[in-house]
C-alpha cells in the first residue's frame, strides 16, 4: 500500500488524492487512470460554473482565489498583526497545483485580523414547503440563507455551485445515458426539519435512486452510478457531505442564536426589575414616607445579595447546553475525518470545498462565542457542551483540508445597514453587512489553555506532600481521555462519580490535548516556521517574563507605556524563609499568615483544592495590568494558597503610583469562606491610609466579611473580585467618603484635607520607603515600576507639592475632620518637600 501510494504521489497526486483513489480502486493502474481523468473533468466543470449569483456578482474583493500561483505572502515587516496564514515555508502542501487545490482550498488566500469586508445580502421572505409524511410545513433553506455570512468570493462560488447542482438545475439524469431523468425538488436537500435525525432519515430514502428504464442505481446528489454496495448511501459523494454539513450547521447556528436571544431577553427583564426595586427602596423608607439619603461609597448598609436564582439559572443553562451538545454530536458525524470508525470514506479524503466553507463561517462563529467565555471554571461546570466543542476542534484539526481554518481569523459580523430598493413592480430589501477579522479559534483556545495549565498546577500543589502519585506521560493522559470515545455518547465526565477535582483535571488535560493536536497538525501541514510565527502572535500568560532582562523605558512616555505592559504581573516564586532551626520539617514563610499556612501543610481538602485551582486559572490571565494601575501577584511555587499582592495606586487618586502590599492566604474553608487578607504598607503599623485600611492591617470590605453589605458568595465569588474591589473602591478618588458617616461630604474642606494627608503618607511610605527597601518578593517589580514611570512621577510629585495644604502629616487622616492648623508656605515644614526631593533623587539614579 505504501509503495502504491508513493507511485501515485510521484505521478503528481497529493497524499489525500492518492489515498482516496486506492481506497476506491484496488489496482494502482486503475486508480491512476481514474484519478487523473476525474481531475481533468473537475477542472472543466469548475470552468463551466464561474457564474456568480446576481446578489454577489458586483462585489469587489481583493482575496485571491484558491489555487492561484501567487501565494499572497506579506512581508513580516509590514505589521505584526497582518499575517499570511497560508504561507508554507516548508512546503506544507504536497503535490501538484491540482492536488494543492483539492487538499487545501485556502492555499494562497490572504487572511488578516485587520481585514474588513462589506457584503450585500438579499433579505428574503421565509419559504415553506409541504413534504409527504410530515404533518407540518417546513421552512426551506433558500439560496440567501445557504450563502448568508460568507464574505469570501471563492467561498461564494463553492456554495453557489453546490446549491445550483442540488436545487436550481432541477433534474438528475441517469448516468447510463438511457435518457431518463429524475426531477429534483428544493425540499429534497434543503428543507429544515425539527430534528436533524429526521433530515438524515429523509435523505437516506431519496439519495439512492433506481432508473425506471434501465434499473441502474445512482446517487441523487451527484448523479454517479452506485457501483458497489454501501451500508449508508449518504457516504457516496462529497456533494452530500457538503449539503448535510451546510444544513446541519445552519440548524446549530439557529438554535444557538435563539438561546442567546432568550438569555439576553431574560437578563434585560431581570435588570429592569432590579432597577425598579432599587428605585423604590431609595425613594421610600420603611414607614412609607420620607426619602432616604444616599449611602455614598463607604460600604454602608446591610444589604444581602439575593442568590436564590443562581441554582435555577445554572440548571436552565445546562439544559440548553444539552440541546446544543446533542445537535453538535449528530452533525459532527459528517465532518470529513480520516480517523472515522470503520475506515475513512472517499469523501473524507476529498471533501467538497463547501464543507470547509460551512465550517469556517458557521461553526467558527459558534466556537468563537463559546471560547470567548474566557472562564475555565464555567467551562468545566458546563463540561458536556465544551467536551463536544473540543471533539469538533480535534476532528477539524486532524484533517489536512480543514486544519488551515484553526489559525485563520474569524470573520465576524460587526454591523449591518438595511437597504430598501423600490421599483414600480416590487420592493427589494437588502442588508449591507460588514465583516471584520477577529481572533482565530487557535488564539481563543490559547487563553483557556493557559488557565488549564495554572489549574493543573494548583491541583498538583494542593496535594499532600506524602502523596506519591506517579506523573503520567502526555500519551497516557491523552489515552485516558480518548479511551472513553466510542463507549458512550456522553462526555467522559457526564454522569460520572468522579469527584470535582478529578473532573477538573480531566477537562484540563483534554483541553491541553486538543491544543497540542492542533499545533501538531499545523506543524505537519504548514511547517515549523509557520507554527513558530503563530505562537508569537498568541496571547501570553501573565506569568511570562519579557525576553529582555532589562526593560528599556524609551525616550518618550508613549514608549514607556508600551514597555510597561511587557513584564510579568503573575509569578510563582519561593516565599519560604530559610535558616530557621525548627524541630519539624514544615517550612516557614515570610508571610503574615505563616502559622495558619504551616497548620495546613499536609491537609487534604478536595473542595478547597478545586477552588484554588479555579482561582489560579482566573488570576493567570485576568489580572489588570495598565499604565494607570496594576495588580501584581506572587504565588509560592509549592504552596499555591500562599500569596502576596502588590497594587499600584490608580490615576486620579491620592494613592496614584504608590505601591501597596497585601498578604493573602486561602484558608481551610476556601472558597466556602473568603480569603484572609492583611494590608502590610502601614509604616510599621502607624499609618491608616483609608477608612477601610487600618493601621493594624485590617481590610474592611463586605466581600471579606469585615463590613456590612453584599458579601462573599461561596464557590461564586473570587479573589480577583476582592483585589479589584480594593483597587477601585478603597484606593479611590475621595477616600474620606468611605467612612459611612461622611458619605455625603464630597468636595468638602474635610475631604480635601484627608486626601492631602493621604498623599503625604503615600510619598513617604508607598513611594520613598518602598523604593529604598522594597518588600519581598517585589523588589524587581517596584524598581521597574518607578523606573518606567520616573518622568511621569516627577511631574506628579511637583503637582502634589503645589496642592499640599501645609498641614502636618497625621497617622490617621480622621484627625482632620475638624478645623486644623495650616502652616504658612505650602509644604514648607511638614516634611513633604524633603520626601519629594529624596524621591526625585532615587528616580534619577534609576
Active site residues: 700
* DSSP annotation string for 720-747: HHHHHHIIIIIS-S-GGGGSGGGTT-TT
Phi/psi at 138 (5° precision): -110, 145
**Is residue 777 reached through a cis peptide bond, with omega within 30 degrees of 0 on the bond before it?**
yes
Nearest CA to 349 out of 82, 670, 14 is that of 14
The three-state secondary structure class of 556 is coil
Nearest CA to 761 out of 845, 842, 653 is that of 653
Report the alpha-carbon distance of residue 565 to residue 578 in Å, rounded: 33
The three-state secondary structure class of 634 is strand
Residue 728 cell numbers, joined: 477601585
> By the 8 A CB rule, do 56 and 433 touch?
no
Q: Rounded to 5 degrees, what angle do the CA atoms 757, 763, 769 make?
A: 130
> By the 8 A CB rule, do 717 and 674 touch?
yes
The three-state secondary structure class of 816 is helix
CA distances from residue 689 to 645, 770, 796 in whole angstroms, order as listed: 17, 15, 19
Nearest CA to 610 out of 500, 718, 712 is that of 500
> By the 8 A CB rule, do 411 and 436 touch?
yes
DSSP state of 206: H
Report the alpha-carbon distance of residue 712 to residue 671 in Å, rounded: 9
Nearest CA to 263 out of 304, 319, 194 is that of 319
* DSSP annotation string for 496-507: ----HHHHHHHH
Report the alpha-carbon distance of residue 138 to residue 156 in Å, rounded: 25
Nearest CA to 688 out of 765, 749, 748 is that of 765
Amino acid at each position: 500500500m505504501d509503495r502504491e501510494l508513493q507511485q501515485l504521489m510521484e505521478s503528481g497526486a497529493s497524499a489525500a488524492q492518492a489515498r482516496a483513489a486506492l481506497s476506491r480502486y484496488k489496482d494502482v493502474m486503475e486508480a491512476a487512470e481514474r484519478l487523473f481523468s476525474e481531475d481533468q473533468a473537475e477542472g472543466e466543470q469548475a470552468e463551466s460554473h464561474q457564474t456568480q449569483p446576481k446578489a454577489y456578482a458586483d462585489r469587489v474583493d481583493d482575496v485571491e482565489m484558491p489555487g492561484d500561483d501567487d501565494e499572497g505572502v506579506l512581508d513580516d515587516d509590514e505589521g505584526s498583526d497582518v499575517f499570511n496564514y497560508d504561507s508554507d515555508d516548508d512546503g506544507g502542501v504536497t503535490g501538484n497545483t491540482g492536488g494543492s487545490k483539492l487538499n487545501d482550498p485556502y492555499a494562497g488566500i490572504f487572511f488578516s485580523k485587520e481585514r474588513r469586508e462589506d457584503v450585500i445580502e438579499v433579505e428574503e421572505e421565509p419559504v415553506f414547503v409541504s413534504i409527504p409524511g410530515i404533518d407540518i410545513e417546513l421552512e426551506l433553506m433558500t439560496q440567501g440563507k445557504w450563502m448568508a455570512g460568507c464574505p469570501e468570493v471563492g467561498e461564494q462560488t463553492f456554495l453557489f455551485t453546490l446549491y445550483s447542482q442540488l436545487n436550481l438545475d432541477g433534474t438528475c439524469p441517469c448516468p447510463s445515458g438511457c435518457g431518463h431523468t429524475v426531477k429534483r425538488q428544493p425540499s429534497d436537500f434543503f428543507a429544515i426539519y425539527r430534528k436533524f435525525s429526521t433530515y438524515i432519515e429523509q435523505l437516506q430514502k431519496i439519495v439512492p435512486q433506481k432508473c425506471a428504464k434501465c434499473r441502474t442505481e445512482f446517487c441523487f446528489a451527484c448523479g454517479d452510478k452506485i457501483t458497489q454496495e454501501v451500508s449508508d448511501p449518504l457516504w457516496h459523494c462529497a456533494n452530500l457531505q457538503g449539503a448535510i454539513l451546510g444544513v446541519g450547521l445552519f440548524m446549530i447556528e439557529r438554535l444557538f442564536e435563539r438561546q442567546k436571544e432568550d438569555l439576553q431577553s431574560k437578563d434585560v427583564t431581570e435588570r429592569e426589575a432590579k432597577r425598579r426595586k432599587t428605585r423604590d427602596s431609595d425613594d421610600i423608607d420603611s414607614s412609607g414616607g420620607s426619602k432616604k439619603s444616599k449611602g455614598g461609597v463607604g460600604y454602608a448598609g446591610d444589604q444581602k445579595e439575593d442568590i436564590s436564582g443562581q441554582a435555577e439559572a445554572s440548571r436552565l443553562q445546562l439544559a440548553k447546553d444539552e440541546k446544543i451538545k446533542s445537535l453538535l454530536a449528530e452533525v459532527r458525524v459528517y465532518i470529513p475525518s480520516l480517523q472515522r470508525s470503520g475506515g475513512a470514506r472517499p469523501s473524507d479524503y476529498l471533501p467538497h470545498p463547501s464543507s470547509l466553507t460551512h465550517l469556517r463561517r458557521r461553526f467558527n462563529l459558534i466556537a468563537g462565542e463559546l471560547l470567548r467565555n474566557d472562564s475555565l471554571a464555567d467551562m468545566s461546570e458546563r463540561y458536556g457542551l465544551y467536551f463536544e466543542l473540543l471533539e469538533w476542534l480535534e476532528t477539524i484539526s486532524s484533517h489536512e483540508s480543514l486544519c488551515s481554518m484553526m489559525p485563520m481569523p474569524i470573520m465576524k459580523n460587526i454591523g449591518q445597514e438595511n437597504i430598501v430598493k423600490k421599483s414600480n413592480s416590487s420592493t427589494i430589501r437588502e442588508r449591507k453587512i460588514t465583516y471584520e477579522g477577529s481572533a482565530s479559534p487557535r488564539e481563543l483556545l490559547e487563553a483557556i489553555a493557559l488557565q488549564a495549565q495554572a489549574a493543573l498546577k494548583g491541583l498538583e500543589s494542593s496535594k499532600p506532600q506524602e502523596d506519591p502519585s506517579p506523573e503520567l506521560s502526555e500519551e497516557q493522559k491523552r489515552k485516558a481521555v480518548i479511551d472513553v470515545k466510542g463507549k458512550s455518547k456522553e462526555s467522559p465526565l457526564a454522569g460520572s462519580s468522579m469527584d470535582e477535582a478529578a473532573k477538573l483535571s480531566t477537562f484540563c488535560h483534554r483541553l491541553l490535548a486538543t491544543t497540542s493536536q492542533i499545533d501538531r497538525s499545523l506543524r505537519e501541514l504548514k511547517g515549523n516556521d509557520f507554527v513558530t510565527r503563530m505562537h508569537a502572535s498568541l496571547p501570553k500568560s501573565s506569568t511570562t517574563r519579557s525576553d529582555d532582562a532589562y526593560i528599556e523605558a524609551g525616550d518618550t512616555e508613549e514608549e514607556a507605556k508600551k514597555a510597561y505592559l511587557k513584564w510579568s504581573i503573575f509569578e510563582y516564586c519561593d516565599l519560604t524563609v530559610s535558616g530557621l532551626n525548627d524541630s519539624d520539617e514544615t517550612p516557614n514563610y515570610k508571610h503574615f499568615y505563616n502559622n495558619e499556612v504551616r497548620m495546613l501543610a499536609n491537609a487534604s481538602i478536595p473542595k478547597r483544592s478545586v477552588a484554588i485551582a479555579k482561582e489560579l486559572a482566573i488570576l493567570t490571565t485576568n489580572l489588570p495590568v495598565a499604565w494607570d494601575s496594576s495588580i501584581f501577584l506572587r504565588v509560592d511555587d509549592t504552596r499555591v494558597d500562599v500569596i502576596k499582592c502588590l497594587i499600584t495606586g490608580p490615576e486620579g487618586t491620592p494613592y496614584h503610583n504608590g505601591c501597596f502590599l497585601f498578604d493573602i492566604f486561602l484558608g481551610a474553608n476556601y472558597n466556602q469562606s473568603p480569603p484572609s487578607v492583611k494590608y502590610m504598607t502601614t509604616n510599621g503599623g502607624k499609618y491608616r491610609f483609608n477608612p477601610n485600611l487600618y493601621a493594624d492591617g485590617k481590610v474592611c470590605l463586605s466581600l471579606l466579611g469585615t463590613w456590612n453589605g453584599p458579601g462573599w458568595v461561596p464557590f461564586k465569588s473570587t479573589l480577583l473580585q476582592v483585589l479589584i474591589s480594593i483597587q477601585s473602591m478603597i484606593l479611590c478618588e475621595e477616600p474620606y467618603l468611605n467612612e459611612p458617616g461622611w458619605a455625603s461630604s464630597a468636595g468638602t474642606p474635610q475631604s480635601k484635607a484627608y486626601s492631602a494627608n493621604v498623599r503625604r503618607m503615600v510619598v513617604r511610605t508607598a513611594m520613598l520607603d518602598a523604593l529604598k527597601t522594597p518588600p519581598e518578593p517585589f523588589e524587581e517589580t517596584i524598581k521597574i515600576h518607578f523606573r518606567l514611570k520616573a518622568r511621569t512621577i516627577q511631574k506628579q510629585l511637583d503637582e502634589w507639592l503645589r496642592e499640599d495644604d501645609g498641614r502636618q502629616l497625621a497617622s490617621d487622616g480622621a484627625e482632620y475632620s475638624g478645623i486644623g492648623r495650616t502652616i504658612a508656605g505650602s509644604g514648607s515644614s511638614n516634611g513633604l518637600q524633603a520626601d519629594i526631593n529624596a524621591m526625585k533623587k532615587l528616580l534619577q539614579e534609576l
